[in-house]
Structure 1
Amino acid sequence: MYSGLLIILLPLIAGYLLPAKAPSLQRLINKLLSWMVYVILFFMGISLAFLDDLGRNLLAIVNYSLISAACILVGNIVALRLLEHLRPWAHNHRQQTLPSRLHMALESLKLCGVVIAGFLIGLSHWTPLKFASEAGEYALLFLLFLVGLQLRGSGMTLRQILINRRGMMVAMVVFLSALAGGAVAALLLGLPVKTGLAMASGFGWYSLSGILMTESFGPVIGSAAFFNDLLRELLAIMLIPALIARHRSTALGLCGATSMDFTLPVLQRSGGAEIVPAAIVHGFMLSLLAPVLIAFFAA
């Protein structure tokens, strides 16, 4: 029953156990990860083109992604505001000049373009493209191995993770409220609750959640998970500067797993250097939980 979870964990653990702290090696790993994300999303687009009754399935993807994103984000925001009320986050930082949020949003949308390119090429139904799904599975295993190497190279120790209580608290609130939102979305959409929980477990890591969900639930749910998590990142980029002064925990929680990489520069410039340890711990914890939870609920 849990063979899928084991298949996900093995390359992740294997990568984490290998020493990969040399800066040159980390740069190579980061570059390979970027390329593998594009490759796998391209395969996901091709698989989508081979769906039967394509028009109806595309409407289902839009419906699933919008409703699940709304339920998960509302759940997160309500829970994070409650955390702020119970445990205020005092700070004296004054916001700095931010990088172009439009530029960052366009960087995220590039991945949508890769999925669309794969979809358009897949419409040709060229015979070799039928193996895109199998190729995507092998590429996924390699990507998870690289993720393990990246996490090991981040230098985060168990002691550092446990010390930063704010990052841990926000991560746990996001984790629990996202699952609650995913369960509500599943009920509204008429999906199995486990499917809704799996869709909520990406925590904004769209490049991984879309891939894993496609392998476990098919390209319709996988594509919905991808757009659901992409919407989360785009919303975080736009709202962080407006929220960070008075709603610091909410601004961090909206970033999900991306708070340790893509949205970290926006958090740092908006919230100051003091938010960085909490952001890294928050993103690190959710990045560890995402593949494990998705595989668990898929089982």
Structure 2
Amino acid sequence: MVYLILFLMGISLAFVDNLSDHLGTIFSVSLVFLGCITLANLAGLWLLDARHGRLSGERGLPPLSKWTLLLDSVKLCVVILTGILAGQFLDEEWFAVDTLSEWALMLLLLLIGIQLRNSGMKLRQILLNPWGLAISLTVMTSSWVGGLAGAWLLNMPLSQGLAFASGNGWYSLSGILISDRLGPVLGSAAFLNDLARELVAILIIPTLMRRHPSCAIGYGGATAMDFTLPVLQRSGGVSVVPVAIVSGFILSLAGPVLILSFLSLTA
């Protein structure tokens, strides 16, 4: 489903009028928000680690090679580029990419709910895990700080900056919701911002895990319960899995609510 949504997002990018003229805006907006949110997240999570301490006991498996991590990142980029190329041969009038993306997103949400149920975790376990809850709250609040800083630097409405910051790495969600409200250019920037966050996360998790586990778990945002979970488990052992699932679940649950709430404040 993630690959399908990426493919559809690529087609949506291809449908942007004069895409080449907007690439500068898309990349500059996404890079500014990525930088601001990353600095704010890592600072907040570092302070949380200073209180919580390092991991003890079980160690994870030997880290995956950088080539393996790079290949995973390349796969995502190839799917997006394939969608852009396919979009060159499709007619925007009859190919309802926005409708298909929304249905694919709803199906993905359904599958995530089923995945959580099959994991055996109850809602009480999720909501009462103190470390996972602390990580998710730290990520949310520090992301808002980064989003406000990015909006200030780009001279954008603060509510838009908060919407950008609330994606928490869930690119398939933020790209669709922000495109619907603010247009495909800013939607593409939000998409690239959260996609780049996920790619950075899988590269830095092995390095951060032993000394700064909250940073390693939290920086991936909502992806801590799915895409980055295997890397987290391999780097930190089985003990980090419940914390990652709890943090990722809360951020995933809050993401659509927060994005839509902040977008509703945009004039």
TM-based fold match above 0.5? yes
Shift of 1:107: 2.6
- Distance 1:250-1:137 versus aligned 2 partners, 3 A rule: closer
Structure 2 length-normalised TM: 0.88
How many residues align structurally?
A: 264
219, 237, 242: which one aligns with 1:272: 237
Distance 1:137 1:163 in 2: 32
- Distance 1:285-1:97 versus aligned 2 partners, 3 A rule: same
Q: Which residue of 2 aligns with 1:43?
A: 8
User: 1:204 is aligned with what amino acid?
Assistant: G
Shift of 1:129: 5.1
Shift of 1:177: 0.3
Shift of 1:149: 3.8
List structure 1 segments (4+ residues) > 6 angstroms apart after TM superposition. Answer: none
Does the 8 Å contact 1:41/1:207 carry over to 2? yes
Distance 2:87 2:55 in 1: 52
SS at match of 1:274: helix
SS at match of 1:41: helix
Distance 1:134 1:212 in 2: 12
- Distance 1:212-1:148 versus aligned 2 partners, 3 A rule: farther
Distance 2:59 2:112 in 1: 34
> Structure 1, residues 32-68: CA drift from partner, whole Å, max 9, x if none?
xx2xx33333333233233334323111111011111
Does the 8 Å contact 1:61/1:223 carry over to 2? yes
Distance 1:60 1:190 in 2: 13
- Distance 1:111-1:259 versus aligned 2 partners, 3 A rule: same
> Structure 1, residues 167-186: CA drift from partner, whole Å, max 9, x if none?
11011101110111011111
Structure 1 unaligned regions, length at least 5: 1-33
Is 1:285 aligned to residue 250 of structure 2?
Answer: yes
SS at match of 2:17: coil
Does the 8 Å contact 1:174/1:256 carry over to 2? yes
Percent sequence identity over aligned pairs: 50
Is 1:201 aligned to residue 166 of structure 2?
Answer: yes
Q: Which residue of 1 aligns with 2:195?
A: 230
Is 1:156 aligned to residue 121 of structure 2?
Answer: yes
Does the 8 Å contact 1:178/1:200 carry over to 2? yes
RMSD: 2.2
- Distance 1:138-1:89 versus aligned 2 partners, 3 A rule: same
Q: Which residue of 2 aligns with 1:18?
A: none
62, 66, 80: which one aligns with 2:45: 80
SS at match of 1:195: helix
Does the 8 Å contact 2:15/2:92 carry over to 1? no
Deviates more, 1:67-76 or 1:109-118: 109-118
Distance 2:92 2:60 in 1: 54
Distance 1:205 1:223 in 2: 13
Structure 2 unaligned regions, length at least 5: none
255, 261, 265: which one aligns with 1:296: 261
Q: Which residue of 1 aligns with 2:36?
A: 71
Distance 2:169 2:46 in 1: 19
Deviates more, 1:55-64 or 1:125-134: 125-134
